[in-house]
Amino acid sequence: MELIQSFSVDHTRIVPGIFTSRVDTLGEWKVTTYDIRLKRPNKEPVVDPAAMHTLEHIIATVLRNDPDWKDEVVYWGPMGCLTGFYLILKGSRAPEDLYGIVLRAFKSVEDAQEVPGATAVNCGNYLMHNLEMAKWYAREFASYLEANAGNRAIFEYPGTQRLVTEDGQHFFDS
């Protein structure tokens, strides 16, 4: 089997940021998956699962209620590796175009007094939330985005070229 696109990115070189992961055409619709990366893979501790769950609830609620973005949001959810989130939007925008909404969404976590949808009726694991830790991670990421707003590296996956030999060995540029 071929590696899927998200596994073909050199994770040893990814920094936190906002990246285009893939663009798909589904009939007449174009849908783009964005990688909202909070942590450097395999170099930093991952986001605490309860805090990640809380960030998922709060930011999904913010995005789906934002008057300028709610009609474009298809999905917001955590990566299995707990280093970031996937945001899927209708259409295709440059990652820089998402900077404002992503920054606002993470800053909004600070004002949350409760976790939306954190009840047994609304959530499959309503006891696994940590609002205070979610606020800490959100502040950390928002500060990082602000400090690196002019840094192209937070919007572009690190370039990698892979030489594949006839016997299937992979070599990476570094």
Is residue 173 very low, low, confident or very high in pLDDT (cuts 50, 70, 90)? very low
Radius of gyration of the chain (CA): 17
CA 101 to chain centroid, in Å, comes to 12
CA 135 to chain centroid, in Å, comes to 16
Is residue 144 very low, low, confident or very high in pLDDT (cuts 50, 70, 90)? very high
Predicted local distance difference test score (pLDDT) of residue 174: 37
Is residue 163 very low, low, confident or very high in pLDDT (cuts 50, 70, 90)? low
Q: Residue 147 above 80 pLDDT?
A: yes
The amino acid occupying position 144 is Y
* 118-122: average pLDDT: 97
Nearest CA to 61 out of 48, 79, 78, 73 is that of 73
The rounded distance, in Å, linking the Cα atoms of 56 and 134 is: 9
* 129-155: average pLDDT: 97
Determine the 3-state secondary structure of 86 from DSSP: strand
The rounded distance, in Å, linking the Cα atoms of 118 and 129 is: 8
Is residue 118 very low, low, confident or very high in pLDDT (cuts 50, 70, 90)? very high
pTM for this entry = 0.88
The rounded distance, in Å, linking the Cα atoms of 90 and 132 is: 32
Is residue 12 very low, low, confident or very high in pLDDT (cuts 50, 70, 90)? confident
As a whole-number percent, the residues of the chain with pLDDT over 70 amount to 87
Stronger pLDDT, 1 or 132, i.e. the higher one: 132
**Main-chain phi, psi angles of 150, to 5 degrees:** -90, 5
Q: Write the CA distances from 142 to 51, 76, 135, integer angstroms.
A: 15, 17, 10
- CB 87, CB 70: distance < 8 Å: no
Predicted local distance difference test score (pLDDT) of residue 16: 97
37-94: pLDDT as tens digits:
999 999 999 999 999 999 999 999 999 999 999 999 999 999 999 999 999 999 999 9
Stronger pLDDT, 162 or 99, i.e. the higher one: 99
Predicted local distance difference test score (pLDDT) of residue 127: 97
